Amino acid sequence: MNRILTIVLFMLTCWNAGKTQRSETDSLKMEWFGDAKLGIFIHWGIYSVKGTDESWAFYNHKISHADYMAQIKGFTAARYDPEYWARLIKSSGARYAVLTAKHHDGVALWDTKMNDLSVVKQAPAGKDVLTPFYRALRKNGIKCGVYFSLIDWTHPDYPGFLKDSSKYDLAEHPEKWARFRTFFQGQIRELMTQIKPDLMWFDGDWEHNAGEWEAAKVRKMILDINPNTIINSRLQGYGDYGTPEQHTPVIRPKDRYWELCMTHNDNWGWQPQDTAWKTPYEIITIFADAIANGGNLLLDIGPKEDGTITPQQVHMLEELGKWTGKHEEAIFGTVGGLPYGHFYGPSTYSKDSTSLYLFVPAKGSGPIVVKGLDNAIREASVVGTDIRLSPKIVGKISWSAVPGLVYIDIPEEARDEYMTVVRLKLDDPVKLYRGHGGF
Ligand code: GLC
């Protein structure tokens, strides 16, 4: 019996060693992404001319395909200032940005040689609006993410540009699908060689399986060009991290790396009637929740067709920037914090877990409390200020191993406008009591 146990244990150790090795390679490439926490998503395309749903407007018959595509004649990029975009993104504290190089409508923002459907060839803009943005990002030290829709509802070889028509069976027309594959893979190659993205952000993989997209080949092509390019999950199982969309996870996601992508109001692109802006407070609390659970936030903005960004979006990015700037050490380069049950709110740790950061909503009152913290607290203070706090240990019984409760009062003047962050410097890496109470 003992020998069997030893063999099983040995096998488990080998298996774990293999896992560790793989994850070490992964984590090297993923390191900046895990530290970055905040990215800005930008949906910019011909849909911002009339302010229709991006691509979905014609797919869902809200507008005809012809009327939708006619918007290209109104896409001017006349006041587009990529340097300003990059500076604005930087001021929010974001460490990376992702721009829609091509949405499901098939319109490229760069000078693709694979077909004629680009704002370069068909819009009054008449130029590549993609490349200058990435140049500006790099100048500002921001990582470059390229959004690329695999589905292309306008391409003549793509099955189904309208929800209920022009579908064809791939098996019956392999030559059409092969042409489409050559086309979209050629566009990816263009983007990889011209933009050299740090991150390829795919979308729309749901319409075909991994075999049909040749997802393994696409991944290999990307990594052959740049082994450090990170790929999001929307490549039918061939990506590097998870992308929950719009909805904050309630349970900590299983993916080691994940990113919540979310709109600033209710739509991805600019839509004049949509005034359902999330407030800076809402965005900051959603962001804190994401990082506390080990994830990133990819927050979307939608510029107008001329490249201007509306005052609400600018305001939100600036407010976010004030907050991320003040609380930098609690956000960037940290890891997800306390598991549920120890603290009523989000928290993060420094990587060595000797600092614990507790995020507290601005308008709270009364002391905060941490349960099950089995460390001595060397110092308690408010991040971004020089205010020291005095934790009170409550209910520590000398003969019991169960730690006492930590109560901390936060004085009124220490409270941030949005979220206050309390830093606990611990004697050692964090140790948690995870029992059922009692002795
Ligand atoms: C969805 C939508 C798309 C949007 C994307 C952003 O996949 O199809 O319109 O661009 O989410 O994550």
Nearest CA to ligand 1 atom 5: 203
In 226-305, where does DSSP find H-type helix? 280-292
Q: Which is more confidently placed, 286 or 164?
A: 286
Give the nearest ligand 1 atom to 243 CA.
Answer: 12
On the question of a common fold for 28-326 and 335-426, the answer reads no
Q: What are phi and psi for residue 39, nearest 5 degrees? A: -125, 155
**Dist. CA 120–CA 279, nearest whole Å:** 36
Beta carbons within 10 angstroms of residue 138's beta carbon:
14
**Dist. CA 156–CA 244, nearest whole Å:** 31
CB 343 within 8 A of CB 407: no
One of 3.90.1150.10, 3.40.50.300, 2.60.40.1180, 3.20.20.140 is the CATH number of 335-426, namely 2.60.40.1180
Q: Which of 152, 153, 203, 245 to mutate to test the pocket of ligand 1 (most atoms within 8 A of CB)?
A: 203
Q: How remote is the CA of residue 243 from the centroid of ligand 1, in Å? A: 11
Place of tokens 């929740």: 289
Question: Class of 28-326 per CATH?
Answer: alpha beta
pLDDT in tens, 302-326: 999 999 999 999 999 999 999 999 9
Give the nearest ligand 1 atom to 261 CA.
Answer: 12
pLDDT in tens, 189-248: 999 999 999 999 999 999 999 999 999 999 999 999 999 999 999 999 999 999 999 998
Residue 203: HSE in the Cβ half-sphere, 13 Å Cα cutoff: 24
Nearest CA to ligand 1 atom 4: 268
Under the banding of pLDDT at 50, 70 and 90, the label for residue 26 is low
Helix (H) or strand (E) segment spanning residue 300: strand 296-301
Mean pLDDT of the chain: 92
Torsion angle defined by CA atoms of residues 420, 424, 430 and 434, in that order, rounded to the nearest 10 degrees? -60
**Dist. CA 346–CA 344, nearest whole Å:** 7
Task: State residue 165's pLDDT score.
Answer: 58
Q: How remote is the CA of residue 405 from the centroid of ligand 1, in Å? A: 44
Cβ < 6 A, ligand 1 pocket: 43, 54, 56, 203, 245, 261, 268
Q: How remote is the CA of residue 203 from the centroid of ligand 1, in Å? A: 7
* pTM (two decimals): 0.93
Mean pLDDT along residues 115-127: 98
Q: How remote is the CA of residue 129 from the centroid of ligand 1, in Å? A: 21
Under the banding of pLDDT at 50, 70 and 90, the label for residue 24 is low
* For residue 439, pLDDT beyond 70: no
**Dist. CA 299–CA 88, nearest whole Å:** 13
Task: State residue 161's pLDDT score.
Answer: 62
Give the nearest ligand 1 atom to 204 CA.
Answer: 7
Is 162 buried (19+), middle (13-18) or exposed (0-12) by CB count in 10 A? middle
pLDDT in tens, 362-386: 887 889 999 999 999 999 999 999 9
What is the domain partition of the chain in residue ranges? 28-326, 335-426
Give the nearest ligand 1 atom to 234 CA.
Answer: 7
